[in-house]
């Protein structure tokens, strides 16, 4: 190091990853005062009171020590019971690991399952962390764009055309952030076929599994020959509105979960203890609140889709998570988002920051109260009338 | 409108009755016409009894007084609970009236301009009803939540304005 200059010291795999495009929009939005934000990737609800109360009570009784590396046994048992809703069957003993958010779980999988030089196919548009995560793990990300014409579903052809046949793994997220797309069991069938044919490990981020509006969530791990090559990720951030408590989990064959735990035990030790107590209660007694939130999201989704349609914007019918991903009239998502923020003080995120296939679209989150959402729609309507 | 949607319409209105028909229609993925008709039907059937605002009168600098009154009654062959309830419910000061299980029979909410007015109302109008054997009046000292709405300061949204 020369004269306190670190530029030569920062590792190449960190230096070469650009800052998230979302960051710039955050900074622009922060400059303005009365912004209505549809740019938020987390629920506007608070965690169910029962879960919060369980956290408080765990603190009152002094439960502030580490837990088992893989998470409290009680919690793993509740998780095993809960995921049976989706036809998933995992042993609390050695096939489940509790992580500090899904983010940690995904990072563990990248590092535990891929070697330098390996390639990981990343279905896009996608949550912004996957590509950098693959790079930080020393592997190579391979973007696999999905298309609006396919309702942003991942297809056999998309995987083949992107060259994913030579990849070692695939990561995707359905219900999807940022598009709101979901995939049915049949549609997952062709992805499964591709992965079996080409021997790909699948990392299925299913953190929005509880937030589907027209059909029940389907997990690829329930398809023939897929359980043994899949790690499923889920957590408490979205459905239980517990983003800040940082708790997720991964389900997979014991070898994969064991390898992830090898890293986890040295780097994280265990996921936050208070959050684990909250999660146990959330799984035991908060299903009604989750359902109420889901219904409210659905009403907002209906409102947003119908308002956008009335404006003449093709909303593409998002069926999951809490996002819509409409196409911008002239295809310039960045200008639309910037001008909308400047002229109308409504924050949305240009689709291009979510990777290939996102350009020309906007991510609008409806994790915002109905009144604010209506105001935002009124402003967008005026904006579109004036500018397009 | 199917039963599921009908139920959802009632739930949405119970949560906020001030929404426009157009917004209700958008939220429920129904036509405005259907929503309008369904609301009329629900009103006719007596499912929807009325629409009011939840007011924090203290914020409005209106010092009205409110009390919960426990009422015990004795019944005879000619008089049942409904007869007595009918009689008490007619007073505009009575804002709610319920028959409850436990140590007393009726629970009343009484509102008036002052504590004196509430006391006078209970002693002059409620207590003298022949079937009423006892009243216990609890004045409301402070209110923290009413019909689902907290009466404290609103929660600030502390989320980052844009996040992944």
**Inside any domain, residue A118:** yes
Contact B27 A29 (CB under 8 A): no
**Inside any domain, residue A363:** yes
CA distance A240 to chain B (A): 16
Q: What angle do CA B10, B15, B21 make, to 5 degrees?
A: 60
Quick one: tokens of A247?
Answer: 């708790």
**Inside any domain, residue A227:** yes
- Looking at residue A41, which CATH number applies to its domain? 3.90.1150.10
Query: Looking at A268, A285, A302, which one is the last position of a domain?
Result: A285
Confidence at residue A32, expressed as pLDDT on a 0 to 100 scale: 87
Contact A349 B162 (CB under 8 A): yes
Query: Looking at A263, A285, A307, which one is the last position of a domain?
Result: A285
| Predicted-complex ipTM score | 0.82
CA distances from A328 to A270, A302, A354, B26 (A): 44, 19, 15, 22
**Inside any domain, residue A248:** yes
Which one of B16, B155, B161 has the shortest CB-CB distance to A40? Answer: B161
Confidence at residue A45, expressed as pLDDT on a 0 to 100 scale: 95
Residue by residue, pLDDT tens for chain B (164 residues) are 899 999 999 999 999 999 999 999 999 999 999 999 999 999 999 999 999 999 998 888 888 999 999 999 999 999 999 999 999 999 999 999 999 999 999 999 999 999 999 999 999 999 999 999 999 999 999 999 999 899 887 767 889 888 98
Query: Looking at A250, A285, A320, which one is the last position of a domain?
Result: A285
What are the start and end residues of each CATH 1.10.10 domain in chain B?
3-44
| DSSP bridge pairs for A145 | A124
φ, ψ (nearest 5 deg) of residue A335: -65, -45
Measured between beta carbons, the chain A residues lying within 8 angstroms of B19 are: 370
Q: What angle do CA A76, A82, A88 make, to 5 degrees?
A: 95
**Inside any domain, residue A360:** yes
Confidence at residue A8, expressed as pLDDT on a 0 to 100 scale: 86
Is residue A347 within 8 A of residue A30, CB to CB? The reply is no
| Dist. CA A254–CA A303, nearest whole Å | 44
Looking at the fold, whether A89 and A36 belong to one and the same domain comes out as no
Measured between beta carbons, the chain A residues lying within 8 angstroms of B28 are: 299, 302
Handedness of CA A200, A97, A207, B160 (dihedral sign): negative
- Best probe of the B interface among A52, A303, A341, by most B CBs < 10 A, is A303
| Dist. CA B16–CA B51, nearest whole Å | 9
Contact A307 B16 (CB under 8 A): no
What are the start and end residues of each CATH 3.30.70.920 domain in chain B?
65-142
- Return the CATH class of domain B65-142: alpha beta
Decide if domain B3-44 falls under CATH 1.10.10: yes
Confidence at residue A10, expressed as pLDDT on a 0 to 100 scale: 93
Using the Cβ of A370 and the Cβ atoms of chain B, whether some distance falls under 8 Å is answered with yes
Residue A126 sits in which domain range? 49-285
Contact A44 B12 (CB under 8 A): no
Confidence at residue A210, expressed as pLDDT on a 0 to 100 scale: 98
The DSSP code for B155 is: P
**Residue A190: how many other CB atoms lie within 10 Å:** 17
Contact B161 A374 (CB under 8 A): no
Indicate the pairing of strand A346-347 with strand A323-324.
unpaired
Whole-number mean pLDDT of chain A?
A: 96
Looking at the fold, whether A337 and A220 belong to one and the same domain comes out as no
Using the Cβ of A257 and the Cβ atoms of chain B, whether some distance falls under 8 Å is answered with no
Looking at the fold, whether A330 and A241 belong to one and the same domain comes out as no
CA distance B76 to chain A (A): 44
Confidence at residue A271, expressed as pLDDT on a 0 to 100 scale: 98
Looking at the fold, whether A57 and A123 belong to one and the same domain comes out as yes
CA distance A306 to chain B (A): 6
Confidence at residue B61, expressed as pLDDT on a 0 to 100 scale: 83
Measured between beta carbons, the chain A residues lying within 8 angstroms of B23 are: 303, 374
Contact B23 A374 (CB under 8 A): yes
Looking at the fold, whether A271 and A307 belong to one and the same domain comes out as no
Interface of A with B in 114-153 (CB under 8 A): 127-129
**Inside any domain, residue A3:** no
| DSSP bridge pairs for B150 | B145
Which long-range contacts link A312-319 to residues 24+ away (Cβ below 8 Å)? A312/A384, A313/A384, A316/A148, A316/A151, A316/A152, A316/A179, A316/A361, A317/A151, A318/A179, A318/A180, A318/A181, A319/A175, A319/A180, A319/A181, A319/A182, A319/A212, A319/A213, A319/A214, A319/A215
Residue by residue, pLDDT tens for chain A (388 residues) are 778 888 889 999 999 998 888 888 899 898 888 899 999 999 999 999 999 999 999 999 999 999 999 999 999 999 999 999 999 999 999 999 999 999 999 999 999 999 999 999 999 999 999 999 999 999 999 999 999 999 999 999 999 999 999 999 999 999 999 999 999 999 999 999 999 999 999 999 999 999 999 999 999 999 999 999 999 999 999 999 999 999 999 999 999 999 999 999 999 999 999 999 999 999 999 999 999 999 999 999 999 999 999 999 988 889 999 999 999 999 999 999 999 999 999 999 999 999 999 999 999 999 999 999 999 999 999 999 999 9
**Inside any domain, residue A182:** yes
| Dist. CA A290–CA A239, nearest whole Å | 6
Is residue A333 within 8 A of residue A352, CB to CB? The reply is yes
- Looking at residue A80, which CATH number applies to its domain? 3.40.640.10
Looking at the fold, whether A304 and A247 belong to one and the same domain comes out as no
**Inside any domain, residue A342:** yes
């Amino acid at each position: 190091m020369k004269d306190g200059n670190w530029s030569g010291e920062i590792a190449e795999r960190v230096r070469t990853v650009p800052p998230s495009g979302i960051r710039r929009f955050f900074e622009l939005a922060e400059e303005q005062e009365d912004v209505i934000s549809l740019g938020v990737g987390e629920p506007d609800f608070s965690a169910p009171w029962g879960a919060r109360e369980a956290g408080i009570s765990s603190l009152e009784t002094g439960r502030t020590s580490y837990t088992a590396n893989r998470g409290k046994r009680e919690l793993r048992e509740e998780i095993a019971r809960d995921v049976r809703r989706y036809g998933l069957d995992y042993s609390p003993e050695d096939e489940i690991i509790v992580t500090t958010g899904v983010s940690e779980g995904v990072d563990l999988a990248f590092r535990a399952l891929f070697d330098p030089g390996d390639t990981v196919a990343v279905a896009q548009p996608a949550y912004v962390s996957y590509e950098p995560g693959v790079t930080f793990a020393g592997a190579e990300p391979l973007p696999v764009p999905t298309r609006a014409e396919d309702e942003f579903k991942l297809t056999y052809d998309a995987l083949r055309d992107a060259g994913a046949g030579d990849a070692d793994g695939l990561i995707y997220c359905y219900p999807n952030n940022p598009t709101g797309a979901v995939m049915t069991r049949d549609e997952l069938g062709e992805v499964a076929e591709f992965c079996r044919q080409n021997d790909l490990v699948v990392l299925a981020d299913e953190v929005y599994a509880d937030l589907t509006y027209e059909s029940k969530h389907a997990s690829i791990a329930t398809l023939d020959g897929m359980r043994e090559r899949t790690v499923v990720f889920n957590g408490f951030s979205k459905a239980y509105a517990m983003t800040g408590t940082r708790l997720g989990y991964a389900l997979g064959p014991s070898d994969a979960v064991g390898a992830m735990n090898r890293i986890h035990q040295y780097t994280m030790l265990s996921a936050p203890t208070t959050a684990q107590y909250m999660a146990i209660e959330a799984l035991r007694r908060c299903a009604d609140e989750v359902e109420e939130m889901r219904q409210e999201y659905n009403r907002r989704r209906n409102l947003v889709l119908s308002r956008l349609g009335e404006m003449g914007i093709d909303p593409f019918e998002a069926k999951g998570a809490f996002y819509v991903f409409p196409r911008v009239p002239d295809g310039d998502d960045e200008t639309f988002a910037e001008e909308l923020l400047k002229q109308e003080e409504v924050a949305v995120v240009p689709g291009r920051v979510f990777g290939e296939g996102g350009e020309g679209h906007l991510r609008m989150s409806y994790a915002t109260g109905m009144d604010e959402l209506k105001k935002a729609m009124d402003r967008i309507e005026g904006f579109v009338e004036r500018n397009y | 409108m199917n039963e599921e949607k009908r139920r959802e319409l009632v739930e949405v209105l119970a949560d906020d009755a001030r929404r426009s028909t157009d917004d209700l229609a958008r939220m429920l993925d129904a036509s405005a016409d259907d929503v309008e008709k369904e609301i009329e039907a629900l009103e006719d059937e007596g499912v929807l009894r009325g629409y009011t605002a939840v007011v924090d009168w203290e914020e409005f600098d209106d010092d009205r007084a409110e009390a919960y009154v426990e009422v015990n009654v004795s019944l005879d062959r000619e008089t049942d609970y409904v007869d007595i309830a009918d009689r008490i419910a007619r007073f505009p000061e009575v804002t709610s009236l319920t028959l409850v299980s436990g140590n007393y029979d009726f629970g009343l909410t009484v509102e008036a301009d002052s504590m004196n007015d509430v006391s006078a109302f209970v002693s002059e109008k409620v207590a003298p009803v022949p079937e009423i054997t006892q009243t216990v009046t609890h004045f409301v000292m402070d209110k923290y939540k009413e019909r689902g709405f907290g009466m404290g300061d609103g929660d600030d949204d502390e989320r980052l304005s844009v996040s992944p």
